[in-house]
Structure formats: C-alpha cells, structure tokens
C-alpha cells in the first residue's frame, strides 16, 4: 500500500452508532452518565468498531525501536547502547512495558525498525501455516536503516525512508488487526527520541522549541540547554515544510516515530481503537493527524506525560488523556496501563443492567 492509498481508505468514526450507544448508556441502572468518561470511552469504541457489541478482549502493544543520530549531541542522560539493551530486556519480559502489558492481558510486539545493533538472534518465529508471531513478547526485525543521521547537520533520513517507516508500521499493525487484535497500544524505545518528538511538535504546531521540550529520561540543566539548542539548529538547518508531514519526519526523525504514525493510520483503516502513549507516540500521532485529521477519532491517549510538550500535542488533536500519574517512561507503558480502564468502560456498557431489567425506579 502506498501512503496516499492508506490515507484515502480512512473514514471517520461512525457518529450514528455513537449516538445509538449514548441512548443505551442512558438506560443503564445508574444516575444519568454517572460513570463519566467510562461512558464516552465505550461509546467511542462503538463508533470506531461500528457495533453496539464492542470488544477489546484481544489486545496488543507495538513497541517501535529505533536509534537516533542526534544522540551524539549529548541530548540524553543515557548512552546509545541502551536502545539495544532495552530491546533485549523487552524480549526477556523484564521491562516496565512487559509487566504492565501482562497486567492488562496484552501481548508485546517489539519492532526493530531501525536500531544500530543486530538483534536478529532474538527475532520471533512465525508459526507454520498461521502467519502469526508466537509468544507473549516477540521481536520483529524490520530495519529501515541502522539508526537515523544527526539532524543538526542534515536530514535524519531520506523521504523514501520516511515513507518506508510509515508503511512498515502500517503493515505490522495491519497484520495484527487481520489476526483479530481489537485494541492496539503504541510504544517506543530509542535513546534520544524525545528530541525529534519535540522538534516535530514545534514544527507541526508552530510552537517555540523551549515550550515543546522537556527533560526526557532526565538530563540536567546543561543537557537540557544542549537539547534545546540541538533541536533549534536541526529545524534551522533542515527547514522542514510544516505542511508536509513526511518532509517533517524525514528531516527530524525517527524511524520509530514513522512506524507509530503508520500503526495509527492502520488503526483508522481497519476501524480499531488505538491507545497512544507519551511524547514519542504522540509525535507519531501528530504526523498521522496532520495527514488525515479524522484519525483522532480512532485514538485514545493513555495518559498525560510529565513531558511538557505532550499535553500541547493532545490539545492540538482534541484528545483528553485517560490517566495522569506523573509518568515519563515511554515503551507504551501509559498505553498499557490505560487499557484496563478502556476495557472497564466497554464492560460497563455491555454488562450493567438497564433500569427495566433490574426493576429499579427511575428518578
């Protein structure tokens, strides 16, 4: 599928079914809409899945991993090797996302979409005849390249690589939807990746870099200054076209952000809800939204990150975060943690009796 064809395929979530869902909510045995956002969540899932019998039993979190040329500028508190080391930890099941995914009853699929080290020894196998990757924590290797280029001296990647990262994300998410996944979460791993994320936000939304930039994994004041300067330089050197999301991605990076953008486009194409995580996932979402604004109707924001640019991105797309717990880890942890809340909303919609069924007097 080309990117243009993908975008052409996307239709808005179904408002008529959402209205029917609201009518059902009003019959539930409780004061009118007394469970607040839980009702909205369920009604949105109805509108996305085009059914009054929504289901989010089958879940997956896609963790897109990539390396970043910008890391050489000292913008992160961690060395670049950590990207690959964490990919190994994900496959072992020992990281934050693995624990929160197990808790939410969801699989983790890690995609090496462009990290520097070779981790193909860890890649999952497809079960014969099924086309499915097997296991709770699976690595899929689909490298666009071994890390992006340093965007302070030129484009992070070519335009072709940007499109390739988006279609790679689209394809892996699309495969999951075809295999029955009903609720997708997005996550990221990549040392240095808050820098391109803040840069993308600054360009797409036209905000000053300092307003979009936070401490990432925890740089000190000096590192924070370096980070803001590097982002400003990268925008000045590359002059990305804010009206052309693929150009913005290619100039600033990274591969995992493109992959997340593609996965979100796939959710909209396949009519499935997608839960985005923090700053990096939301940068991918911002690109998808810039290509096709109705994708916002398919997104849930798992949480509000500590990263200050994150809330601005969510406001830009008109999405309210479900949780606000002072988190800033990435990996898809905010998406996975919100999944039980989304599932709770759906179960309330499906399982609470109506006033009539319960024989309870109305007010």
Q: How far is the CB of 290 from a second copy (least distance, A)?
A: 28
7 binds a second copy (CB under 8 A): no
Nearer to a second copy, 213 or 333 (CB): 333
Note whether 294 binds a second copy by CB under 8 A. Answer: no
Q: CB–CB of 119/90 below 8 Å?
A: no
| Contact region with a second copy (CB under 8 A), list: 139-147, 226-234, 264-272, 355-363 | 355-363
Ramachandran assignment for 74, one of left (phi > 0), alpha (psi -120 to 50 degrees), beta (any other): left
Chain positions 89 to 148 lying near a second copy, rule: CB under 8 A, are: 89, 92, 94-96, 98-100, 102-103
Alpha helices in the chain (DSSP H): 3-9, 15-27, 37-49, 81-92, 96-104, 159-178, 194-205, 209-212, 221-238, 245-252, 255-270, 279-291, 308-317, 333-351, 355-358
∠ Cα 93 164 282 (to 5°) = 60
Give the nearer residue to a second copy in terms of CB position, either 218 or 318: 218
Query: Do 115 and 95 meet the contact criterion of CB atoms below 8 Å apart?
Result: no
Q: Does 322 bind a second copy (CB under 8 A)?
A: yes
Contact yes or no for 75/227 (Cβ under 8 A):
yes
159 is an interface residue for a second copy by CB under 8 A: no
Contacts with a second copy: how many residues (CB under 8 A)? 58
Q: Tell me how far, at minimum, the Cβ of 42 lies from a second copy, in Å.
A: 11
Does 31 interact with a second copy (rule: CB under 8 A)? yes
Q: How far apart are CA 86 and CA 73, in angstroms?
A: 21
Look up 331 and say whether it is catalytic. Answer: yes
Q: Which residues pair with 321 in a beta bridge?
A: 301
The distance of closest approach from Cβ of residue 96 to a second copy in the complex, given in angstroms and rounded to an integer, is: 5
Whether 300 and 65 have beta carbons less than 8 Å apart is answered as no
Catalytic residue among 331, 343, 351, 356: 331
**Residue 77 engages a second copy in binding (rule: CB under 8 A):** yes
Q: Which residues are catalytic?
A: 331
* Chain residues in the site for a second copy (CB under 8 A): 28-32, 34-38, 76-79, 81-82, 85-86, 88-89, 92, 94-96, 98-100, 102-103, 217-218, 306, 322-329, 333, 337, 340-341, 343-344, 347-348, 351-353, 357-363
């Amino acid at each position: 599928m080309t990117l243009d064809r993908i975008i052409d395929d996307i239709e808005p979530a179904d408002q008529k079914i959402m209205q029917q869902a609201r009518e059902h909510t009003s019959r539930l045995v409780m004061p009118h809409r007394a469970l607040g956002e839980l009702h909205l969540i369920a009604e949105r899932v109805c509108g996305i899945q085009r059914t009054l019998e929504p289901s989010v039993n089958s879940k997956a979190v896609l963790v897109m991993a990539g390396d970043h040329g910008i890391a050489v500028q000292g913008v992160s508190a961690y060395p670049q090797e950590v990207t690959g080391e964490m990919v190994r930890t994900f496959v072992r099941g020992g990281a934050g996302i693995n624990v929160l995914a197990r808790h939410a009853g969801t699989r983790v699929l890690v995609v090496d979409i462009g990290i520097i080290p070779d981790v193909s020894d860890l890649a999952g196998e497809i079960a014969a005849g099924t086309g499915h990757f097997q296991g709770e924590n699976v690595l899929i290797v689909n490298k666009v390249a071994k890390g992006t280029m340093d965007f302070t001296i030129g484009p992070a990647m070519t335009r072709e690589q940007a499109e390739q990262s988006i279609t790679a994300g689209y394809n892996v998410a699309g495969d999951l939807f075809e295999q029955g996944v009903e609720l997708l979460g997005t996550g990221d791993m990549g040392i240095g990746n808050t820098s391109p994320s803040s840069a993308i936000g600054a360009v797409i939304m036209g905000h000053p870099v300092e307003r979009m930039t936070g401490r990432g994994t925890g740089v000190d004041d000096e590192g924070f200054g370096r980070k803001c300067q590097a982002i400003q330089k990268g925008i000045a050197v590359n002059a990305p076209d804010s009206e052309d999301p693929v150009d913005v991605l290619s100039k600033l990076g990274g591969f995992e952000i493109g992959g997340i953008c593609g996965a979100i486009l796939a959710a909209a194409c396949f009519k499935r809800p997608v839960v985005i995580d923090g700053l990096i996932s939301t940068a991918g979402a911002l690109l998808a939204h810039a290509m096709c604004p109705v994708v916002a109707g398919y997104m849930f924001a798992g949480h509000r990150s500590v990263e200050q640019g994150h809330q601005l991105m969510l406001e830009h797309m008109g999405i309210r975060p479900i949780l606000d717990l002072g988190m800033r880890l990435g990996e898809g942890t905010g998406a996975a943690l919100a999944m039980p809340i989304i599932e709770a909303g759906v179960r309330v919609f499906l399982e609470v009796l109506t006033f009539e069924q319960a024989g309870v007097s109305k007010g």
